[in-house]
Amino acid sequence: MDFTYPSLLSIFLLLLLPSLISSQICQKNCGKETVKYPFGSGPGCGDPRFQPHVTCSNQKLTFTTHTGSYPVTSIDYTNQVIYISDPTMSTCSCTVPSKGFGLNWDAPFTFADSTIFALVDCSMNSSSICQSNGYDDGSNSKLLCDQGTPICSLLYSCRPISTINLPISTCCVYTPVNLGPAFEMDLQKLQCPSYTGFYNFNDQQTDPEKWNYGIALKYKFSVTNDYPGSCDACERSHGVCGYGGAYNSFVCNCPNGINTTTDCFFISSYNKGFRNGVAWLIYPVAWFLVWFFL
């Protein structure tokens, strides 16, 4: 195989100057929201199990399931809770039609204990469905519902809901949330065109206008829920945890854009030794070849 001088020069430079052709792909922020493991700013960042569900698009974090895409309002990394909002969710400010909410069965998320769902604007016929003994959706799972809480009466004191002029008995509350193994809320079968969700009374238990509306979801790093030691070492060296290769194995994305299987301290030491040891000879040779052949 024949090589021209320019092609040989290109190969030479690619081998000797890897830091010049690497580019950083993982960011520590998505807009104003800090992005840390297991979430990432894009493909190859964070944990591959979480990347399909939480993505960064147009500098905004979005949570996606088969029922839709929902803005991420905040993430509590200490308690491993992600908070999302649903634009089709009814609140004390407005009542809108909704198709409900569901989690993908294979998603590494569960409903946090603080999440409370309430079905509102239900038809009179649904009162026999929404009972404390639950609703069987046909998949051997039951949506356990309680109508004896004060939440319904408080919600029906909201002006948008009170104008519906339906009895409080048509309101159904899930607390703690138990949607069965399918993690699915089928409002059509329940004959309820709308639902609301909140995760914090905000120290105003009797004022639904002050509640924090949305959905709180719990996540785990693994079955044992241990923070990966390799990721911890990567972050302590100012890197960003990611993955790559055919098996989505761990990589540490360093500030200079180079990926490593260890941490960024290793890369820094390597680069420092490279500069102090042989760079004084290689760089002059490289520039001489550029001048001579071009």
pTM over 0.85: no
Query: Does position 208 have pLDDT exceeding 60, yes or no?
Result: yes
Read off the amino acid at residue 275.
R
Is the CA virtual torsion 20, 26, 32, 36 positive or negative?
Answer: negative
Omega within 30 of 0 (cis) for the link into 38: yes
Q: What distance in Å separates the CA atoms of residue 183 and residue 143, rounded to the nearest whole number?
A: 9
Contacts with 114 (C-beta within 8 Å, 6 or more apart), sequence order: 199, 200, 216
Q: For 114-118, 156-160, 194-198, 202-206, which range has the lowest pLDDT when averaged over its residues?
A: 156-160
The pLDDT of residue 274: 42
Kindly state the average pLDDT of the residues 179-188.
79
CB 98 within 8 A of CB 194: yes
Greatest mean pLDDT among 58-67, 184-193, 274-283 lies in 58-67
| Distance of alpha carbon 140 from alpha carbon 153, whole angstroms | 31
Q: CB under 8 Å to 42, separation ≥6 — which residues?
A: 25, 26, 27, 55, 56
Q: Which of 99-113, 122-136, 212-226 has the lowest mean pLDDT?
A: 122-136
How much is the average pLDDT of 39-44?
94
Beta strands, E only, the chain: 29-30, 33-34, 54-57, 60-65, 68-76, 81-84, 109-111, 116-120, 135-136, 142-143, 172-174, 194-200, 212-213, 215-219, 240-244, 249-253, 259-260
- Of 28-32, 138-142, 258-262, the range with the lowest mean pLDDT is 138-142
Q: Both ends of the chain: CA-CA distance in Å? A: 22
Q: Which of 79, 72, 138, 88 is nearest to 112 (CA)?
A: 79
